[in-house]
């Protein structure tokens, strides 16, 4: 975190010169001003309010105010049966609904202690990784817009549309799928689905390079992100960061590799961490680069899934779904690697009811956003926009 | 734990970690519940919670540097509410352990661990918001998801929503 020593110089006006903040004027007759960013502000990616205390252009404190999208997810869960919670999980992180469903289904399956057919596992991983790419495309596209690069956004949404089309074909819905059920899937994938996915992979691979060039060779984009909002790895862990945020700080930690679930141990992929050549480790640019690399790794995973997928002969996607879901008394904390980090579900069952006693979603965005106060201190207002964008929040998951 | 089923490696690790904490704090803790899905113990003497948590974070063989989750839970049958903390030694030792704490159901208070893990800051605010537990030593004990002037603790099992909020009818 970059802080400027302004003690004894009164209020100052600062500017950035070759990646350093320098004081241009001092002893200015200004007073602290409260600047409210949001709740309707394009750079906050939803309804988030940031109450910033500013001294000139420098932020002395930024306090996030949440809850504008609070829908009592956890209270709802206590009032419906286990399978009926799946559509609610879609609405947590609506940009990667497949991943949320996957995490929830796994948590209940752990309580139930049931075996899942192998083809189901492969399809789950396949659709989750497709959704991860779609989610990262939104993250990268809107991040470009935040920083004034409009073209990448259009490229991202063009390609994301193909993924949404594929997922719609499989599940019937564009964004909120209700596809991964406890113990199975709503449907098997359609005939020729895998062929189309492979076509998409072949189409999209060169596009990732193109997209990357558009942003990381853009001088303005680099200036706005390089060395901004640096988070040291120890502090990131203490804040409970996960996913691309944590990896952006150089911690090689990916639940798909480090706490493996489903069929991920059989798949070959690289955990993306920045190498520190082009970016300062832990800055906004690193976090962006991690997402860019992850898209390519997801493509690799998708290809392997297609190659290794067991045949659909005699396959029933609902064969392992229990008739009545009533787990034995107990509790579980289960998590999965979402595009935004660790999505965990704490579920408690009393063994009698078909509804959970308690179902808590540990939201990755909520935790990642909590570091805002530390990250924003001493930054310029435009840099604050760059920092929020790099956190990649989805308010549906923050507020639940 | 069903008989004849081998105890998994992660539960063994949790048990080893627990026995070290137990050695230090003895009767302040309950015995370990070594279930397969989430091994946990309860802190009986809640006043020593910060001390225990500090030990868990900083001891060279424990190093629980990552607080994955902090959940509030209502136990109406026991007239209690509580929290569950899921700890992990991320990228260091790899073991996991969950800790439970309970306090009285209305107006209960627990020590805050937000001084040890930043993660706890917002999570404790959330528990305060939804369950009404206050955390002693928390720097900013106020609601986070509900509005500041909301009444009641929504996640308590016997919660009744208020009739009106700022002149707007709430139940529908």
Specify the pLDDT at position A3. Answer: 62
Mutate to test the interface with A, among B54, B63, B69 (most CBs of A within 10 A): B69
Whether the pLDDT of residue B5 is over 60: the answer is no
DSSP string, A7-38: TTS-EEEEEEETTEEEEEEEEE----EEEEE-
Tell me the CA distances in angstroms from A255 to A94, A243, A378, one per residue in order: 21, 8, 33
Task: Please name the member of B37, B72, B143 whose beta carbon is closest to the beta carbon of A332.
Answer: B37
With bands split at pLDDT 50, 70 and 90, how would you rate the model's confidence at B24?
A: confident
A28 touches A13 (CB < 8 A): yes
The interaxial angle of helices B49-58 and B9-25, nearest 10 deg, is 130
With bands split at pLDDT 50, 70 and 90, how would you rate the model's confidence at B2?
A: very low
Q: List strand residue ranges (DSSP E) for B79-140, in order.
A: 80-88, 96-104, 109-111, 134-136
Task: For residue A51, give the nearest of A64, A69, A67, A32 by alpha carbon.
Answer: A64
Our CA-based measurement puts residue A157 at a distance from the nearest CA of chain B, in whole angstroms, of 31
Specify the pLDDT at position A6. Answer: 67
pLDDT 10s digits, A88-113 = 999 888 889 999 999 999 999 988 88
**Pairing of β A358-362 and β B40-42:** unpaired
Q: Do A75 and B155 touch (CB under 8 A)?
A: yes
Q: Is domain A73-368 in CATH 1.10.645.10, yes or no?
A: yes
- Closest Cα in chain B to A250: B91
Q: What is the mean pLDDT of chain B?
A: 86
Task: Please name the member of B37, B65, B119 whose beta carbon is closest to the beta carbon of A330.
Answer: B37
Specify the pLDDT at position A37. Answer: 84
- The tokens for A384 are 């604050």
Q: In terms of C-beta density within 10 A (0-12 exposed, 13-18 middle, 19 or more buried), how is residue A55 classed?
A: buried
Residue B135's DSSP bridge partners are B110
pTM (2 decimals)?
0.87
Specify the pLDDT at position A42. Answer: 67
Task: Tell me which residue range forms the domain holding B153.
Answer: 9-169
Would residue B106 count as lying in a domain?
yes
Q: Do A239 and B118 touch (CB under 8 A)?
A: yes
Beta-carbon-side half-sphere exposure of residue B37 (alpha carbons within 13 Å) = 23
Specify the pLDDT at position A132. Answer: 93
- The tokens for B65 are 């540097």
- The tokens for B166 are 């700022």
Whether the pLDDT of residue B4 is over 80: the answer is no
Q: Do A237 and B90 touch (CB under 8 A)?
A: yes
Residues in chain B, total:
172
Would residue B79 count as lying in a domain?
yes
Residue holding tokens 């005699």? A314
Which helix (DSSP H) or strand (DSSP E) does residue A81 occupy? none
Q: Where are the domains of chain A?
A: 73-368
Cα–Cα distance between A91 and B40 in angstroms, integer? 30
Specify the pLDDT at position A129. Answer: 93
Would residue B2 count as lying in a domain?
no
DSSP string, A303-366: HHHHHHPPP-TT--TTTT--SS--PPSEEEEEEEEETTEEEEEEEEE-SS-SS-SEEEEE-HHH
- The tokens for A385 are 């926009």
Our CA-based measurement puts residue A193 at a distance from the nearest CA of chain B, in whole angstroms, of 35
Q: Do B68 and A258 touch (CB under 8 A)?
A: no
Residue holding tokens 């909301």? B150
Task: Please name the member of A234, A239, A331 whose beta carbon is closest to the beta carbon of B38.
Answer: A331
Residues sharing a CB contact under 8 Å with residue A36, sequence separation 6 or more, in sequence order: A49, A50, A51, A52
Q: Do B122 and A342 touch (CB under 8 A)?
A: no
Would residue B75 count as lying in a domain?
yes
Q: Do B145 and A67 touch (CB under 8 A)?
A: yes
Would residue B1 count as lying in a domain?
no
**CB contacts < 8 A (A, B):** 89
Our CA-based measurement puts residue A299 at a distance from the nearest CA of chain B, in whole angstroms, of 26
CATH code at B37?
A: 3.30.460.80
pLDDT 10s digits, B77-136 = 888 899 999 998 887 888 888 999 999 888 889 999 988 899 999 999 999 999 989 998
Tens digits of pLDDT across chain A (400 residues): 456 666 666 667 777 777 777 877 777 666 788 888 878 776 667 788 888 888 878 888 888 888 888 888 898 889 899 999 999 999 888 889 999 999 999 999 988 888 888 889 999 999 999 999 999 999 999 998 888 888 888 999 999 999 999 999 999 888 899 999 998 898 888 888 999 999 999 999 999 988 888 888 888 888 888 888 888 998 999 998 988 999 999 888 888 888 888 889 888 888 888 887 888 888 899 999 999 999 999 999 999 999 988 888 888 888 888 888 888 888 899 889 999 989 999 999 988 888 899 999 999 989 998 888 888 888 888 888 888 888 888 888 888 8
Specify the pLDDT at position A9. Answer: 67
Would residue B4 count as lying in a domain?
no
Q: Which residues of B touch A254 (CB under 8 A)?
A: none
Our CA-based measurement puts residue B36 at a distance from the nearest CA of chain A, in whole angstroms, of 9
Count structural domains, chain B.
Answer: 1
- The tokens for A26 are 């001092």
Specify the pLDDT at position B3. Answer: 42
């Amino acid at each position: 975190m970059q802080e400027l020593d302004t003690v004894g110089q009164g209020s100052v006006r600062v500017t950035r010169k070759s990646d350093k903040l320098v004081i241009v004027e001092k002893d200015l007759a200004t007073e602290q001003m409260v600047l409210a960013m949001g709740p309707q502000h394009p750079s906050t990616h939803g309804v988030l309010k940031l109450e910033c205390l500013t001294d000139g252009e420098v932020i002395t404190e930024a306090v996030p105010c949440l809850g504008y999208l609070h829908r009592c997810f956890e209270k709802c869960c206590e009032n419906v049966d286990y399978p009926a919670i799946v559509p609610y999980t879609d609405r947590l992180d609506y940009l990667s609904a497949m991943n949320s469903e996957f995490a929830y289904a796994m948590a209940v399956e752990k309580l139930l202690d049931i075996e899942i057919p192998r083809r189901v596992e492969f399809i789950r991983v396949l659709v989750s990784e497709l959704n991860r790419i779609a989610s990262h495309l939104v993250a990268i596209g809107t991040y470009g817009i935040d920083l004034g690069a409009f073209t990448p956004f259009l490229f991202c949404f063009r390609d994301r549309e193909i993924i949404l089309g594929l997922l719609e074909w499989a599940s019937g819905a564009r964004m909120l799928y209700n596809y991964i059920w406890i113990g199975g899937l709503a449907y098997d994938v359609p005939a020729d689905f895998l062929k189309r996915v492979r076509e998409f992979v072949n189409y999209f691979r060169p596009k990732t390079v193109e997209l990357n060039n558009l942003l990381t060779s853009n001088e303005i984009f680099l200036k706005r992100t390089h060395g901004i909002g640096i988070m040291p790895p120890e502090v990131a862990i203490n804040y409970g960061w996960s996913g691309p945020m944590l990896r952006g700080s150089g911690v090689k930690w990916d639940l798909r590799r480090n706490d493996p679930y489903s069929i991920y141990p059989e798949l070959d992929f690289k955990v993306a961490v920045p190498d520190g050549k082009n970016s300062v480790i832990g800055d906004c640019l690193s976090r962006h680069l991690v997402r860019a690399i992850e898209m390519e790794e997801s493509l690799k995973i998708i290809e392997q899934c297609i190659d290794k997928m067991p045949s659909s002969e005699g396959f029933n996607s609902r064969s392992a779904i229990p008739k009545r879901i009533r787990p034995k008394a107990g509790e579980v904390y289960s998590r999965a690697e979402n595009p935004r980090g660790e999505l965990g579900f704490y579920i408690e069952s009393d063994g009698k009811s078909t509804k959970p006693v308690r179902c808590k979603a540990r939201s990755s965005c909520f935790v990642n956003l909590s570091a805002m106060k530390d990250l924003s201190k001493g930054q310029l207002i435009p840099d604050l926009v760059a920092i929020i964008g790099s956190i990649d929040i989805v308010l549906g998951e923050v507020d639940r | 734990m069903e008989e004849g089923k081998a105890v998994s490696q992660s539960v063994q690790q949790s048990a080893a970690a627990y026995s070290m904490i137990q050695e230090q704090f003895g009767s302040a803790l309950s015995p370990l519940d070594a279930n397969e899905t989430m091994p946990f113990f309860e802190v009986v003497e809640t006043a020593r919670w910060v001390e225990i948590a500090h030990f868990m974070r900083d001891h060279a063989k424990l190093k629980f540097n990552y607080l994955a989750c902090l959940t509030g839970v209502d136990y109406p049958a026991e007239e209690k509410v509580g929290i569950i903390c899921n700890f992990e030694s991320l990228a260091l030792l790899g073991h996991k352990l969950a800790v439970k704490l309970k306090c009285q159901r209305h107006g209960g208070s627990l020590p805050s661990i937000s001084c040890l893990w930043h993660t706890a800051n917002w999570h404790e605010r959330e528990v305060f918001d939804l369950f009404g537990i206050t955390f002693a030593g928390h720097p900013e004990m106020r609601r986070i998801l509900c509005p500041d002037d909301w009444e009641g603790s929504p996640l308590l099992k016997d919660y009744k929503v208020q009739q009106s909020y700022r002149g707007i009818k709430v139940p529908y």
